[in-house]
């Protein structure tokens, strides 16, 4: 807005808050509330503030995959002019924690310090410095002399579980997970059976088994992890940082350093992507806090892109084994999924990712007899974390590849086989045994997704084959399911103020890292009053200003925070009605709120703005500035579904292949903002294609990350895209805000198995290891011929 525009507008209408064309109604693709800043370059991310006065922080990183630090000599570093602090493991609190972004106590072992005496992966911080210039900080890092006792390291879970393998966490820790055997590097071991799987296999006409491997990939949000930390004028610790969970970050930092929650504030400015990596409180944040506390000064710590690629929590590499018993008629009689998950050096998401990896994909096929067994194992690699899909990418690759193999074994069309077994409304999802979640699903559009995707491509006819039969095309399909928050864990609270011109200030601690959460909260609040989106301001970027919200987390925002926002708006609407009724001597229920107006039974009405102004002027009684609040906590986690269908073309002489088309039919309940929903679907699908086709973070035998930087990490670029179609298959989730479920993760799950299945359809080669390469198809072709 400009002064001249404002002047013109107020002369014309005498009002400042009326905009004509914009609508906030849920279901409309309103522009993002932060959109103007994003397209003009005015959006301010963590490092986009002047920091001339800040010290430069730098970590010293371990060159070894596993080593005990005998001693650290920091004298030479401290002697460098302009070095203000040098910290080692001796200077940080002794109490261990988990970086994982669950609220305390979290389903994860407390197995790390801010700086550890034993380092367990290459790149783990050993020491940290703060200096008045970047150059001095770097010289100081080089001047630190560390005496390492290099220990034997282990990179593969199978080897790590051997009796003679080195133990990564020999000292006892708090909060061990289910069946942990730390001396054998087992973070947790789980078994969840329903029915009788043995008996189920006996009833089968065929039992099909397969093994599927997925690789380590990185989230790679475009803004590297960055923190600016300082002590404010009330001696509080402030972090301006790349987080998607500001309240959890505040909590973690406060606990780690023994501070009152009120003595820590976390500012989450615009954040350049997240995808889960910012769900943890990362070493960058703990170290920045430590350096600010130590020096009393402002400290800036920005990971380089290469550091972020090497040391940010990754997606877990997993081996997924599936065994399915099936009858000739296509009935699944039993299913057993066994997963070994490589959690790397720390167990932050070991057990929750493992659990999700099986429970989500297995939910799609409710069978009486099902069993999940699995284990998560420590190794000397970068820790695995929370990445979009949260285990279900790996599990879905395994299970949905396998489902095609099962269909093949009984000679049934894979789409038809899915149709016969897929979950329906009123059936129960396969929830973790310990979960208190209510498993009955009320909105299930997966069959419609399947049908829509098949119709779109003409599944029954198969793809048009090129004239030259050297090139073969195939179709492959995969069904996916995700969640809408962690049941009985997520909590969100929202407060909405009716300002005296009829606009709304919504305070809610959502972690918008680009998904549009703030926009959706604004739409929900505005819709309750029939206001336009420009009449709402969403404040979400500061833990001082917002009540607790878990943040961007398990696809929870639209569902959990959205419900809290709707409740707060309805609470506020109730208060408006009450006061209005008092003025007009009528019953509150008879007062209507719609289109930004307050209407009375006698046919008169006033704008919400006029109402709010009178309320605050106190013309008709005491002054009022009405505030509504709402909170949401639930045992429910409604599931979004998708069917994703890929078409590929394979060159039978070379194994080279191309994904030509990817159709995504998605059931996310009601789409509150269709353009943003489409953005989530396409963004997830393309990230999933990256994992399928090219992305990998390799390590050499010493545990060194084997890439020099971004130039070696192959993500999807615009020219690599297949034709991508999205179809929103709307259902209505009765417990969701305006019928919505989540949509952030469901479309990243399907591309890998859909492409693998399409390759098999094209040339009869089953690829069961990611990424899918021309070389692996070539090998398969050779074996087949």
Q: How far is the CB of 269 from other proteins (least distance, A)?
A: 11
- Which partner in other proteins, ligand FES, none is near 83 (CB below 5 to 8 A by kind)? none
Strands of 720-770, DSSP E: 723-728
Indicate whether 57 belongs to the interface with other proteins (CB under 8 A): no
Indicate whether 54 belongs to the interface with other proteins (CB under 8 A): no
- Encoded tokens for 767: 């690829």
Nearest 5°: phi and psi at 295? -95, -20
- Encoded tokens for 599: 């209407």
The nearer residue to ligand FES, 306 or 336, going by C-beta atoms, is 306
CA distance 235 to 293: 10
Q: How far is the CB of 100 from ligand FES (least distance, A)?
A: 24
Question: Are 655 and 778 in contact, with CB atoms under 8 Å apart?
Answer: yes
Indicate whether 511 belongs to the interface with other proteins (CB under 8 A): no
Find the residue with minimal CB distance to ligand FES.
222
Residues recorded for the chain:
785
Q: How far is the CB of 305 from other proteins (least distance, A)?
A: 4
Indicate whether 275 belongs to the interface with other proteins (CB under 8 A): yes
Strands of 471-600, DSSP E: 471-481, 492-498, 504-507, 536-539, 592-594, 597-599
In which residue are the tokens 């198969």 written?
462
- Encoded tokens for 445: 């559009």
Q: Binding segment for other proteins among 348-356, 554-562, 589-597, 682-690 (CB under 8 A)?
A: 682-690
Q: How far is the CB of 262 from other proteins (least distance, A)?
A: 30
- Which partner in other proteins, ligand FES, none is near 12 (CB below 5 to 8 A by kind)? none
Q: Binding segment for other proteins among 164-172, 353-361, 644-652, 684-692 (CB under 8 A)?
A: 684-692
Q: Are strands 332-344 and 370-378 parallel, antiparallel or unpaired?
A: parallel
Q: How far is the CB of 716 from other proteins (least distance, A)?
A: 7
Please give the size of the binding site for other proteins, defined by CB under 8 A: 59
The nearer residue to other proteins, 618 or 709, going by C-beta atoms, is 709
Q: How far is the CB of 264 from other proteins (least distance, A)?
A: 25
- Which partner in ligand FES, other proteins, none is near 430 (CB below 5 to 8 A by kind)? none
Is residue 12 within a helix (H) or strand (E), and if so which, with residue range?
Answer: helix 3-13
- Quick one: CA torsion of 524, 530, 531, 532, rounded to 10 degrees? 80
The nearer residue to other proteins, 547 or 679, going by C-beta atoms, is 679
The nearer residue to other proteins, 234 or 711, going by C-beta atoms, is 711
Nearest 5°: phi and psi at 609? -60, -45
Q: How far is the CB of 30 from other proteins (least distance, A)?
A: 10
What are the CA-CA distances from residue 509 to residues 245, 514, 579 (Å)? 8, 14, 29
The nearer residue to other proteins, 515 or 652, going by C-beta atoms, is 515
Candidate list 368, 631, 745, 769, residue with the active-site label: 745
CA distance 244 to 4: 37
The nearer residue to ligand FES, 12 or 222, going by C-beta atoms, is 222
Indicate whether 37 belongs to the interface with other proteins (CB under 8 A): yes
Tell me the per-residue interface mask from 134 to 173 with other proteins, x by CB under 8 A, - otherwise.
Answer: ----------------------------------------
Helices 392-409 and 350-363 meet at what angle, rounded to 10? Answer: 30
- Encoded tokens for 124: 């783990």
Binding region for ligand FES (CB under 6 A): 222, 273, 514
The nearer residue to ligand FES, 231 or 682, going by C-beta atoms, is 682
Nearest 5°: phi and psi at 84? -100, -25
Indicate whether 593 belongs to the interface with other proteins (CB under 8 A): no
Q: How far is the CB of 276 from other proteins (least distance, A)?
A: 12
CA distance 753 to 398: 7
Q: Binding segment for other proteins among 203-211, 265-273, 286-294, 777-785 (CB under 8 A)?
A: 265-273
CA distance 552 to 392: 17
Known catalytic residue: 745?
yes
Indicate whether 516 belongs to the interface with other proteins (CB under 8 A): yes
Residue 508: closest CA among 559, 564, 558: 564
Q: How far is the CB of 692 from ligand FES (least distance, A)?
A: 20
Q: How far is the CB of 230 from ligand FES (least distance, A)?
A: 26
Strands lying side by side in the sheet with 504-507: 536-539, 504-507, 492-498, 627-632
Indicate whether 68 belongs to the interface with other proteins (CB under 8 A): no
CA distance 109 to 186: 11
Q: Please give the distance of CA 762 from its chain centroid, rounded to a whole number.
A: 33
Q: Binding segment for other proteins among 113-121, 366-374, 673-681, 728-736 (CB under 8 A)?
A: 673-681
Question: Are 524 and 565 in contact, with CB atoms under 8 Å apart?
Answer: yes
- Which partner in ligand FES, other proteins, none is near 34 (CB below 5 to 8 A by kind)? other proteins
Question: Are 221 and 513 in contact, with CB atoms under 8 Å apart?
Answer: yes
Tell me the per-residue interface mask from 2 to 31 with other proteins, x by CB under 8 A, - otherwise.
Answer: x--------------------------x-x
DSSP state of 559: I
Give, as ranges, the residues between 696 and 715 that touch other proteins (CB under 8 A): 709-711, 715
Q: How far is the CB of 680 from ligand FES (least distance, A)?
A: 12
- Which partner in other proteins, ligand FES, none is near 270 (CB below 5 to 8 A by kind)? other proteins
The nearer residue to other proteins, 304 or 465, going by C-beta atoms, is 304
The nearer residue to ligand FES, 60 or 387, going by C-beta atoms, is 387
Query: What is the CA angle 91-66-705, rounded to 5?
Result: 105
Indicate whether 104 belongs to the interface with other proteins (CB under 8 A): no
Question: Are 518 and 33 in contact, with CB atoms under 8 Å apart?
Answer: yes
CA distance 80 to 138: 11
Give exposure, 720-748, as e/b (b: 16+ Cβ within 10 Å): eebebbbbbbbbebebbbbbbbbbbbbbb
CA distance 254 to 277: 20
In which residue are the tokens 């859909």 written?
754
CA distance 773 to 770: 8
Q: Binding segment for other proteins among 202-210, 340-348, 512-520, 774-782 (CB under 8 A)?
A: 512-520
Is residue 343 within a helix (H) or strand (E), and if so which, with residue range?
Answer: strand 332-344
Question: Are 559 and 742 in contact, with CB atoms under 8 Å apart?
Answer: yes
What are the CA-CA distances from residue 354 to residues 135, 348, 707, 735 (Å)? 43, 11, 27, 28
Among 66, 310, 678, 741, binds other proteins (CB under 8 A): 678
CA distance 407 to 412: 5
The nearer residue to other proteins, 366 or 683, going by C-beta atoms, is 683
The nearer residue to other proteins, 45 or 732, going by C-beta atoms, is 45
Give, as ranges, the residues between 284 and 313 that touch other proteins (CB under 8 A): 304-306
- Which partner in ligand FES, other proteins, none is near 267 (CB below 5 to 8 A by kind)? none
The nearer residue to other proteins, 22 or 203, going by C-beta atoms, is 22
Q: How far is the CB of 514 from ligand FES (least distance, A)?
A: 5
Among 14, 41, 258, 426, binds other proteins (CB under 8 A): 41
Residues near other proteins, by CB under 8 A? 2, 29, 31-32, 34-45, 47-48, 50, 219-224, 270-275, 304-306, 513-516, 673, 675-676, 678-679, 682-687, 709-711, 715-719, 721, 724
Active-site residue list: 745
């Amino acid at each position: 807005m400009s002064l001249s525009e404002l002047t013109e507008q107020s002369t014309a209408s005498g009002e400042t808050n009326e905009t004509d064309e914009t609508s906030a109604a849920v279901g409309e693709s309103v522009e993002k509330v932060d959109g103007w800043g994003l397209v003009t370059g005015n959006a301010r991310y963590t490092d986009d503030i002047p920091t001339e006065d800040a010290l430069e922080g730098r970590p010293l990183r371990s060159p070894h995959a596993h080593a005990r630090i005998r001693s650290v000599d920091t004298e030479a570093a401290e002697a460098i002019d302009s070095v203000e602090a040098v910290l080692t493991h001796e200077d940080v609190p002794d109490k261990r924690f988990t970086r994982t972004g669950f609220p305390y106590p979290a389903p994860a072992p407390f197995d790390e310090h801010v700086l550890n005496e034993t380092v367990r992966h290459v790149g783990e911080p050993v020491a940290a410095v703060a200096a008045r210039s970047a150059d001095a900080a770097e010289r100081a890092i080089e001047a630190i002399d560390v005496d390492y006792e290099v220990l034997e390291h282990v990179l593969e879970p199978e080897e790590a579980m051997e009796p003679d393998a080195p133990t990564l966490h020999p000292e006892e820790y708090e909060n061990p997970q289910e069946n942990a055997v730390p001396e054998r590097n087992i973070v947790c071991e789980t078994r969840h059976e329903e029915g009788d799987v043995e008996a189920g296999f006996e009833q089968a006409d065929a039992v099909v088994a397969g093994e599927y491997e997925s690789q380590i990939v990185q989230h790679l949000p475009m803004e590297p992890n960055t923190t600016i930390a300082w002590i404010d004028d009330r001696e509080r610790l402030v972090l301006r940082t790349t987080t998607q969970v500001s309240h959890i970050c505040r909590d973690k930092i406060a606990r780690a350093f023994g501070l009152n929650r009120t003595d820590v504030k976390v500012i989450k400015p615009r954040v350049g992507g997240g995808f889960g990596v910012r769900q943890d409180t990362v070493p960058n944040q703990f170290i920045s806090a430590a350096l600010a506390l130590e020096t009393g000064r402002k400290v800036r710590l920005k990971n380089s892109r290469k550091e972020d690629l090497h040391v940010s929590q990754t997606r877990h590499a997993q081996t997924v084994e599936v065994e399915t018993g099936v009858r000739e008629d296509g009935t699944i009689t039993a299913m057993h999924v066994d997963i070994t998950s490589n959690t790397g050096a720390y167990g932050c998401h070991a057990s929750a990712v493992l659990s999700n990896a099986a429970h989500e994909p297995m939910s799609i096929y409710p069978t009486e007899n099902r069993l999940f067994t699995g284990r998560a194992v420590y190794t000397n690699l970068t820790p695995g974390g929370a990445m979009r899909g949260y285990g279900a990418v790996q599990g879905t690759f395994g299970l949905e590849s396998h489902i095609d193999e099962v269909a093949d074994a009984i000679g049934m069309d894979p789409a038809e086989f899915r149709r016969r077994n897929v979950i329906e409304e009123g059936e129960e999802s396969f929830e973790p045994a310990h979960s208190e979640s209510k498993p009955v699903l009320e909105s299930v559009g997966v069959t419609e997704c399947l049908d829509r995707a098949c119709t779109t491509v003409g599944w029954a006819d198969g793809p048009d084959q090129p004239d030259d039969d050297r090139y073969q095309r195939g179709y492959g399909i995969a069904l996916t399911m995700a969640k809408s928050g962690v049941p009985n864990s997520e909590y969100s609270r929202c407060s909405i103020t009716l300002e005296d011109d009829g606009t709304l200030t919504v305070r809610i601690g959502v972690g918008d890292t680009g998904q549009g959460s703030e926009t959706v909260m604004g739409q929900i609040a505005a819709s309750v009053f029939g206001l336009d989106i420009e009449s709402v301001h969403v404040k979400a970027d500061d833990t001082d200003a917002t009540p607790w919200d878990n943040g961007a987390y398990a696809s929870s925002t639209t569902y959990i925070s959205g419900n809290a926002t709707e409740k707060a708006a309805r609470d506020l609407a109730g208060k408006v009605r009450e006061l209005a009724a008092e003025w007009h001597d009528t019953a509150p229920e008879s007062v209507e709120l719609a289109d930004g107006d307050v209407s009375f039974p006698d046919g008169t009405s006033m704008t919400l703005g006029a109402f709010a102004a009178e309320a605050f002027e106190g013309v008709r009684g005491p002054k009022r500035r009405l505030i509504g609040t709402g909170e949401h906590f639930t045992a429910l986690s409604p599931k979004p579904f998708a069917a994703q269908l890929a078409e590929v073309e394979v060159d039978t002489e070379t194994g080279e292949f191309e994904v030509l088309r990817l159709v995504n039919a998605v059931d996310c309940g009601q789409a509150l903002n269709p353009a943003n929903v489409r953005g989530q679907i396409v963004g997830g699908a393309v990230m999933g294609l990256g994992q399928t086709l090219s992305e990998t973070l390799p390590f050499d035998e010493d545990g060194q990350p084997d890439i020099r930087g971004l130039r070696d990490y192959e993500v999807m670029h615009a020219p690599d895209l297949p034709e991508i179609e999205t179809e929103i298959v709307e259902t209505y989730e009765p417990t969701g805000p305006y019928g919505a479920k989540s949509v952030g993760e469901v479309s990243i799950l399907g591309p890998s198995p859909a492409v693998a299945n399409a390759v098999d359809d094209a040339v009869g080669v089953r690829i069961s290891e990611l990424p899918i390469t021309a070389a692996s198809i070539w090998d398969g072709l050779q074996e087949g011929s």
